[in-house]
Structure 1
Amino acid sequence: MMKFYEEMLLIRRFEEKAGQLYGLGLIGGFCHLYIGQEAVVTGLQSAIEPGKDSVITSYRDHGHMLACGIDPKIVMAELTGRASGISKGKGGSMHMFSVEHGFYGGHGIVGAQVSLGTGLAFAHKYKEDGGVCLAYFGDGASNQGQVYESFNMAELWQLPVIFVIENNQYAMGTSVNRSSSEDQLYRRGESFRIPGMQVDGMDVLAVRGAVEEALKDVRGGGGPVLMELKTYRYRGHSMSDPAKYRSRDEVQEVREKSDPIERLKAMLLKQGVTEEELKALDKAVRKTVMDAADFAEESPEPEASELYTDVLVEQY
């Protein structure tokens, strides 16, 4: 539980700092923050096997990289477009990538990663390496046609993939209830015979327990599983979104009643962990994030010649 608390806190503090750096003009392009959704990726990533399983997600990807165990310094350096970034400063916020950590992006095209994740699952089955792919996407992407083509192939070929819908209630600025005729998204796989489960994505322990069951089925050869994680983002869709489609009271109510970090903190205090211990942990996490920001700001930008590298892989 302490590990989960630390990881969620790291993602929260990292994203808060990213928001500040964006405001200062140190992060270019788009920037989508993960604040509020930390329990989803923390719970899921804690259950998979690094070096064996694969992960792919959308453009809201900073938290996923941190949960994959990637150094916050090189994630922040990538956000700020520096040569020391995980993608040499060429991926930025939305297109980070690390094969070494089994992380296959960061994808800016809505729903594209679902088809690619299905391909990763096919590779796991073809190689017989025992790996499972976690393919994350949002409630908005769940209405994309390629998602259902992927569902069909995944079930037809019994691929080892867990489709993870991070339902944060709003596709950009549109409520899921207004954009989806079936808003119980865990049912979306039923016509393909893909079992679905709906999980409280604001409770890291519930997420961990649910994904353990899903992994057991998938690793046992049962084919794909669809998980809908009911979560919530506190910030706008991106840094340019004023989020006028919902009230401040709505956001505040979720913060007060369901915040994943505060919920786990309350459990830890009941287990005998002291406020002083948690404050010390928060202080250490803040230092990690500050060090990452300093590292990013001090790192050089890529050389112009880097435009022509990593474009084509030639195999002989």
Structure 2
Amino acid sequence: MLAAAVSRVVASVTQKPASRVLVASCNYSNDTTLEIKKCDLYRLEEGPPVTTVLTRDDGLKYYKMMQTVRRMELKADQLYKQKFIRGFCHLCDGQEACCVGLEAGINPTDHVITSYRAHGLCYTRGIPVRAILAELMGRRGGCAKGKGGSMHMYSKYFYGGNGIVGAQGPLGAGIALACKYKENKEVCLTLYGDGAANQGQISEAFNMAALWKLPCIFICENNLYGMGTAVERAAASTDYYKRGHFIPGLRVDGMDVLCVREATKFAADYCRSGKGPIVMELQTYRYHGHSMSDPGVSYRSREEIQNVRSKNDPIMLLRNRMVNSKLASVEEFKEIDVEVKKEIEDATQFAMTDPEPPLEEIGHHIYSDNSPFEVRGTSQWIKYKSIS
């Protein structure tokens, strides 16, 4: 009787590990060829391919990156409501295929500048989650030393989010001008929203970029709502990829990371060849409202949001494709989800316990490379030292 009981206990303990071994021993394909949606073209004879090769390693990497951005944004939402994050905060959950696909289509030394909805691009450009969350909470370990907050994060080759609507348009053209001047074959991705597309400075940037044939990819993230206004109510023409008039354009499925990747590769090659700028419209969707003060349900229905979640979610689409193509198993994705959740929780603990920057450092990092100099405070008698 005792022997039988022991055998039952041993069997129950070893059952789960045995199933994991079985999953790990399954043979998966190393790559597969997948169809992607054809891009709409403007002033272009040819566009990105309609098929692409997805490797198992790349697919798992893209999934983990998108899941990390999603979890990070949901954590930011929670921290804001708990008053750990103050000020402005614009979340991009739902738009993960845009930032991950764009990064997959360019080189690490290419340049990116975007709007205030910047957290996802911060991560894909190489800023760790802990540095992003710390910056959101105004802590010393943040990527901008706690001084920038949600809208002003920076790293090498990433020129941050910008609080002024559309200001990144001419700035991006300026970065592209530097690339052309240096003849380094680098390109600049300049992102803005459908609301900012109506700003005059975007058209001015188009003009200068076309006139000087700058290697600039202008990217409109069309998430259908500029603040609380549907695109049809704000724009006489919602074909944002045609807004460059004299600049060629692409309209891309922004919910498919592979479609975004291939379109970005095409656009980058176009710019590197010296043909000048190109406009990309990414058709995407955000689940949260415009900002934390916007519940996001007064100008659209909950059913609309749920419909996108259930049928066109970028993370779900990639996972289903990989499972159906025998590139990975459902169990593997669950393990990645657990790993990502732990990373977010660890980053949150770091950010919450990290100290705020001291007042003496308020004048630091005014310039990236400059000899120390004195900065006047709120009165001429208060002096701070600026250190690069």
* Same fold (TM > 0.5): yes
Question: Aligned residues, how many?
Answer: 311
Alpha carbons of 1:315 and 1:283: their partners in 2 closer, same or farther (altered >3 Å)? closer
Moved over 2 A (4+): 310-316
C-alpha separation in 2, matches of 1:181 and 1:174: 13
Question: Partner of 1:207 in structure 2?
Answer: 260
> Is 1:231–2:288 an aligned residue pair?
no
| Matched ranges for 1:278-297 at <5 A | 278-297=333-352
| Matched ranges for 1:292-311 at <5 A | 292-311=347-366
Return the offset for 1:311. 2.8
- Equivalent position to 1:257, from 311, 335, 351: 311
Taking only the aligned residue pairs, the percentage that are identical comes to 53
Return the offset for 1:268. 1.2
- Equivalent position to 1:246, from 290, 294, 300: 300
Q: TM-score, normalised by structure 1?
A: 0.96
- Equivalent position to 1:194, from 225, 244, 247: 247
Question: Partner of 1:93 in structure 2?
Answer: 150
Question: Partner of 1:116 in structure 2?
Answer: 171
Question: Partner of 1:18 in structure 2?
Answer: 76
| Secondary structure, aligned partner of 2:130 | helix
> Is 1:216–2:269 an aligned residue pair?
yes
> Is 1:83–2:140 an aligned residue pair?
yes
Larger fraction in helix: 1
C-alpha separation in 2, matches of 1:292 and 1:130: 36
Task: Give CA-to-partner distance per residue, 1:60-99, whole Å, 9 cap, x none.
Answer: 000001111211111111011001110000000011111x
Q: TM-score, normalised by structure 2?
A: 0.79
| Matched ranges for 1:118-133 at <5 A | 118-133=173-188
> Is 1:172–2:227 an aligned residue pair?
yes
Larger Rg: 2
Q: Tell me how large the CA RMSD over aligned residues is.
A: 1.1
In structure 2, what residue type is equivalent to 1:96? M
- Equivalent position to 1:154, from 209, 222, 243: 209
Return the offset for 1:49. 1.0
In structure 2, what residue type is equivalent to 1:41? C
> Is 1:4–2:62 an aligned residue pair?
yes
In structure 1, what residue type is equivalent to 2:250? M
Task: Give CA-to-partner distance per residue, 1:212-239, whole Å, 9 cap, x none.
Answer: 1111111111100100000000110011
Task: Give CA-to-partner distance per residue, 1:5-26, whole Å, 9 cap, x none.
Answer: 1111010001011111111111
In structure 2, what residue type is equivalent to 1:78? E
Return the offset for 1:247. 0.5
Q: Any gaps of 5 or more consecutive residues in structure 2?
A: 1-58, 372-388
C-alpha separation in 2, matches of 1:66 and 1:258: 23
Alpha carbons of 1:96 and 1:265: their partners in 2 closer, same or farther (altered >3 Å)? same
Question: Partner of 1:140 in structure 2?
Answer: 195
> Is 1:62–2:116 an aligned residue pair?
no
| Secondary structure, aligned partner of 1:308 | coil
Task: Give CA-to-partner distance per residue, 1:250-283, whole Å, 9 cap, x none.
Answer: 1111111111011111101112221111000000
> Is 1:266–2:323 an aligned residue pair?
no
In structure 2, what residue type is equivalent to 1:2? L
In structure 2, what residue type is equivalent to 1:264? L
C-alpha separation in 2, matches of 1:312 and 1:37: 33
| Secondary structure, aligned partner of 1:254 | helix
In structure 2, what residue type is equivalent to 1:277? E
Q: Which has the higher contact order (CA 8 A, sep 6+)?
A: 1
In structure 2, what residue type is equivalent to 1:285? V
Return the offset for 1:312. 4.8
| Secondary structure, aligned partner of 1:91 | coil
In structure 2, what residue type is equivalent to 1:216? D
C-alpha separation in 2, matches of 1:119 and 1:45: 20
Task: Give CA-to-partner distance per residue, 1:190-247, whole Å, 9 cap, x none.
Answer: 2xx2100000000111111111111111111110010000000011001110221111
> Is 1:49–2:102 an aligned residue pair?
no
- Equivalent position to 2:94, from 36, 46, 61: 36
Alpha carbons of 1:315 and 1:16: their partners in 2 closer, same or farther (altered >3 Å)? closer
